[in-house]
Each structure stands twice: as structure tokens, then as C-alpha cells.
A = this chain, B = another copy of it.
Amino acid sequence: MNYPEVKVLENVKAVLKAIEGRSYKRVYLIACGGSSALMYPSQFLIDTKVRNLTCEYLNSNEFIYRNSPAVNEEAIVILCSQEGKTPETVAAAKYAREKGATVITIAMLDDTPLQKEGEFFVKYGYYETADPIDTSYGVMYLLTAGILQAQEGLEIFDDMVRNLENLKPVVENAKKQYQDATEYYGKSCREDRVLYSLASGCNYSQSYVFCNCYMMEMQWINAIPIHAGEFFHGPFEIIEKNSPVIMLMGLDQTRFMEERALRFLEKYTDRIFRIDMKDVDFMDVDEDYRGYLGALVINNICRMFSKAIAKEREHSLDIRRYMHLVEY
């Protein structure tokens, strides 16, 4: 599929301008699957910055059926669906609008059912060709930084813009840097029936999407996303000498948990596939944005890793047996 070039900044600014005078108690980030995972870093951003505003992060149908009284005119709901037609997310937008919430939708295509249900819309670019700031992750960080600025009086929007703009060469270099490693990882995992992926903080979203989408959905390989802090309270008992673990290491303030998990894993398995933002040169990205924006870099590396596994197994990432093929 060919996606046109998209520049999001003016669009995002126009949305933020339009809601400038409104006051909110809650932000809801609502989507399904991969579109949900890409919102999680923004939940993390809000949670680490706020005193008043809160951020809820829910699957679209869970959001509808919970039917919280807090979904009202004091709520702002952001919903994402890549092609703008995920039925649950379209229904969630309609539901939120009926409850009086401000509804912003984001998608990669114009004129979709999702867009029709929202008050505002931002189109984002395709992750492989767009600059980081113009991807879904970029749009989410821009929107939430703008909302934080308006609602909490934090001066962070311009910094977020500058840092997202400065991320482009970082991602490009990181991809080159991890080319050989991801090919090696792909070969190594060729015969595995079960993979594990650990992370904490905003990077947990990448364990989630790697396992649920890139592996379970696109490779039919069992893959278990494990929060690096929860690991020691149950899941670590499964680890054996040959357990394959994709260890995601970010730079946010929760890195301690990832390091702790890594130290344990280094003793008890020989098969750690480590994607570590400490090894990446973040160049002109400010120190205190590297944690947040690292999630985008990790996403790119995880996708390369998935492609490498797919190639080794001769199982295209596009093959499905149920999705969009049978009724469900």
C-alpha cells in the first residue's frame, strides 16, 4: 500500500488551538491492539507529568462497556485506528461523543468511519516512510504534550516538537546499527515455539505489540509480554537455560527494572536478545526526552527483528488465517 506524505504539525496545532479554552479532568486513550500499544507511551508521559489531569488507557470495547460516569464533557478522548475502520474503535468514538466528551481521532487515511465520529481528526504518516514526528507515535506525543501544556501549565509542547524533529537521524542510525543483530536474532529464533519479551515504563508497549501483533498475529509464534517488574512475582520461574528473551531496555526512569531483569536473565538463560537504548546515539535529543522517545526507536528495531524472523521462517508478516478473512 502506498501512503501519501503527511506533515502533522499544523494539523495538531489547529486541533490544540480549537480546544484551547476547554477544561478537562481526564484524557482517555482508546484503541485496540497495535493502535492501542502506540498510545501507551503517551499515557506514561501524562502520568509522569501531571498533578490534576489523569489518563486512562483502555481497549475500545472495554471502554464502552465499562461505561464510566467519568466519560462526560470533562473528558477528552483520543482514538486511533490505522485505517480508521476498526468497528470497536469507531463505536467507542460515537459513544464518547454522545457522552459529551471532546473526541479526537487519528488514522492513516482520510474520510474513514472513525473520522466521521470525531470532532477533530489528525492524519498520520506510514511508519516506514514518514519522519518520526509524523508517525502515529509522533502525533500522540504532540497531542498529549499540547494537552498537558494547556491543562497543567507545563511548557513542553515546543520542546516535544523539537525533540521529535531531532529524532529522525537517531532512528535512521539505530536501524543501521541493529541490522546485523536483528538478522542474527531472527536466525536464532527460527525454531522457537515460545518467546518472551520484557520491558517497563513506556517501553512495555513495545513488548506488548511485539508479542501480540508481530509474533502471535503475524508469525503464529507464542510470545509472552512480561512487565519487567512483575517478572519476579511469578513469570521468572519459567526461565531455563535456552529460553529466548527479547529484553527491551529504554532510557526512561523505570530502566532500573529492566536492568534488574537483565541481571537475572544473564545468569539463567543463554539466549537474551537485547535492544538497548543506551547503545544508541540520541544526538540532539534532550536528555529528558530520550526515555519517552526511545519507545519509537525500539519500535523500529522490533519491526526489523520481526522481519528477520519472518524471512528465516518463510512466513510472510502479511499472512492471516482469521483477521479480515472470517466472521468474528
Give the Cβ gap from A71 to chain B, nearest Cβ, in Å. 10
Cβ–Cβ contact A237 & B257, under 8 A:
no
Assuming the A-B contacts A65-B254, A66-B201, A222-B224, are A234 and B260 also in contact, with contact meaning beta carbons closer than 8 angstroms in the complex? no
Does A123 count as interface, using CB distance less than 8 angstroms?
no
A194-208 interface code vs B (CB 8 A; 1 in, 0 out): 100000110000000
Provide the bound-state CA to CA distance between A86 and B68, in Å: 33
Name the segment of A136-144, A156-164, A213-221, A297-305 touching the other chain: A213-221
Provide the bound-state CA to CA distance between A264 and B326, in Å: 10
Q: Which of B34, B48, B52, B62 contacts A201 (CB 8 A)?
A: B62
Does A19 count as interface, using CB distance less than 8 angstroms?
no
Cβ–Cβ contact B62 & A236, under 8 A:
no
Does A47 count as interface, using CB distance less than 8 angstroms?
yes
Give the Cβ gap from A61 to chain B, nearest Cβ, in Å. 4
Residues on the B chain within 8 Å of A62, using CB: 200-201, 227, 229, 254, 257
Cβ–Cβ contact A236 & B322, under 8 A:
yes
Cβ–Cβ contact A234 & B256, under 8 A:
no
Q: Which of A30-84 contact B (CB under 8 A)?
A: 32-36, 44, 47-52, 54, 56, 59-62, 65-70, 72
Cβ–Cβ contact B200 & A212, under 8 A:
no
Does A253 count as interface, using CB distance less than 8 angstroms?
yes
Residues on the B chain within 8 Å of A184, using CB: none
**Number of A residues, CB within 8 Å of B:** 68
Residues on the B chain within 8 Å of A236, using CB: 217, 322-323, 328
Residues on the B chain within 8 Å of A212, using CB: 230, 233-235
Q: Which of A76-98 contact B (CB under 8 A)?
A: 86, 88
Assuming the A-B contacts A66-B44, A217-B237, A220-B237, are A229 and B61 also in contact, with contact meaning beta carbons closer than 8 angstroms in the complex? yes
A-B contacts, 9 of them at CB < 8 A, read A26-B54, A32-B229, A34-B233, A36-B230, A49-B69, A62-B200, A62-B227, A66-B253, A232-B328
Extra contacts besides A34-B234, A217-B236 (10): CB < 8 Å: A33-B230, A50-B68, A50-B70, A67-B253, A217-B237, A221-B238, A222-B224, A232-B323, A232-B328, A239-B322
Which residues of A are at the interface with B, using a C-beta cutoff of 8 A? Answer: 25-26, 32-36, 44, 47-52, 54, 56, 59-62, 65-70, 72, 86, 88, 193-194, 200-201, 212-213, 216-218, 220-222, 224, 227, 229-230, 232-239, 253-254, 256-257, 260, 263-264, 267-268, 320-323, 326, 328
